[in-house]
Amino acid sequence: MDKMPAWADAVLVPLISILLAALISALVILAIGHNPVEAFSIMVKESLTSSRGIGNTLYYTTNFIFTGLAVAVAFHARMFNIGGEGQVLLGGLGVALVCLYVPWPHWTLALVGATVAAGVFGAAWALIPAYLQAKRGSHIVITTIMFNFIAAAVLNYVLVNMLRPRGAMEPASGPFPEPTHLPTFQEMFSTADTVLFRSAPVNVSFFLAVLACFAVWLLIWRTRLGYQIRAFGHSESAARYAGISPVRITVIAMLISGGLAGMMALNATMGEAERLVLNASEGAGFIGIAVALMGRSHPFGIFMAALLFGFLYQGGLELAFWTGIPQQLITVIQALVILFTGALDNMVRMPLEKLFLALRKGKA
């Protein structure tokens, strides 16, 4: 018998974790001499109450959905892909090459081409660690984190020596041509009288992220491949018994994971920057781990967690802007959320399980 109802597991546990994180954050803000209530209301006001704020929040959310899904797919095969950063960077390279060197007639076609390129480049970057894990037993945590550094170095080299326009001082590619620019929410939803999502970077790739959530859900719970990935993730010996090749599943799951991570570049590189910059990943590769943990590797949970982290990101930036609270504190708050939802999960879960058992016993 399960220890507590599914809704408690999916909603109550993360909710309490977030509240605890908020409580500690409030104490920290109090300790440095600011008003936590005020700080919190600024965060909410600037990220959730205006269409501009929402647009910014959703922009970050889009990034986190892609990287969160990437981590989740690998999780289902019991692999810890912490190479999201590197895969995002390589995905960005793919996007940049396709946008810069292919004469696209229209953004829709460019988006399709860039999606393929981002996926292929991200997947390719995950392929090497996957192969090493499957065939040589090199631990994927070690190899993927190493590949983050290699990716950063590769990107640096490519930007400085190959993509940088002649005479430019900055290690960045030239701007992508006009037909590859993705429509932003401002362009899509504003009318003549009212401008919505003013100057917010959120763009059409948000819908792609939502689509990716649905696709991953289908993949994991409705396809034979997902069935095999989950089976392998639960028990390698059982997978062997069933004739599911560990090598094949390891490689395929990591390819999908890397591909999803790479697709984050559609939002950040193609949608927002419209050129390839050095720090194209914005740390979202690592945030994806927290998002996947908090979302229990379920696409819906990941969507919700990505919203939360989007809010924290946007709210945090505004907080630093409007108050004297230093930017570093925002990182502390984010870290607290990660700590409580990820690492300290059992601290909340176990008392809750006991509570539910006691309740059930009381009824029986």
Nearer to another protein, 22 or 225 (CB): 225
How would you label 129-166 residue by residue, b for 16+ Cβ within 10 Å and e otherwise? Answer: bbbbbbeeeeebeebbbebbebbbebbeebbeeebbee
By CB under 8 A, the residues from 203 to 222 that bind another protein are 218, 222
Q: How far apart are CA 348 and CA 296, in angstroms?
A: 15
- Minimum distance from CB of 221 to another protein (Å)? 9
Q: Which of 136, 192, 224, 328 binds another protein (CB under 8 A)?
A: 224
Cβ–Cβ under 8 Å, residues 165 and 227: no
Stretch that binds another protein, among 20-28, 177-185, 224-232, 251-259 (CB under 8 A): 224-232
- Minimum distance from CB of 119 to another protein (Å)? 18
Amino acid 340 reads F
- Minimum distance from CB of 224 to another protein (Å)? 5
Nearer to another protein, 274 or 345 (CB): 345
Q: Report residue 7 as tokens.
A: 């809704």
Query: Under the criterion CB under 8 A, does residue 1 sit at the interface with another protein?
Result: yes
Cβ–Cβ under 8 Å, residues 13 and 293: no
Stretch that binds another protein, among 181-189, 231-239, 293-301, 333-341 (CB under 8 A): 231-239
Q: Which of 40, 80, 217, 227 binds another protein (CB under 8 A)?
A: 227
SS3 59: helix
- Minimum distance from CB of 82 to another protein (Å)? 24
Q: Which of 139, 156, 234, 346 binds another protein (CB under 8 A)?
A: 234
Beta carbons within 8 Å of 45's beta carbon, 6+ residues apart: 53
Nearer to another protein, 166 or 363 (CB): 363
Cβ–Cβ under 8 Å, residues 314 and 60: yes
Nearer to another protein, 228 or 250 (CB): 228
CA 101 remoteness from chain centre: 28
E strand or H helix that includes residue 160 = none
SS3 165: coil
- Minimum distance from CB of 128 to another protein (Å)? 24
Query: Under the criterion CB under 8 A, does residue 6 sit at the interface with another protein?
Result: no
Q: How far apart are CA 226 and CA 216, in angstroms?
A: 9
Query: Under the criterion CB under 8 A, does residue 357 sit at the interface with another protein?
Result: yes
Binding mask 236-275 for another protein (x = CB under 8 A): -xx-xxxxxx------------------------------
Query: Under the criterion CB under 8 A, does residue 364 sit at the interface with another protein?
Result: yes
Q: Report residue 148 as tokens.
A: 């983050």
- Look at the block and give the residue holding tokens 């879960």: 349
Query: Under the criterion CB under 8 A, does residue 136 sit at the interface with another protein?
Result: no
Query: Under the criterion CB under 8 A, does residue 359 sit at the interface with another protein?
Result: no
Stretch that binds another protein, among 167-175, 322-330, 342-350, 354-362 (CB under 8 A): 354-362
Q: How far apart are CA 28 and CA 167, in angstroms?
A: 47
Q: How far apart are CA 363 and CA 82, in angstroms?
A: 45
Number of C-beta neighbours around residue 276 at 10 A: 30
Stretch that binds another protein, among 101-109, 112-120, 223-231, 305-313 (CB under 8 A): 223-231
DSSP for 322-351, please give it.
HSS--HHHHHHHHHHHHIIIIITHHHHHHH
- Minimum distance from CB of 134 to another protein (Å)? 15
Nearer to another protein, 139 or 222 (CB): 222
Cβ–Cβ under 8 Å, residues 98 and 239: no
**Contacting positions for another protein (CB under 8 A):** 1-3, 218, 222-224, 227-228, 230-231, 234-235, 237-238, 240-245, 357, 360-361, 364
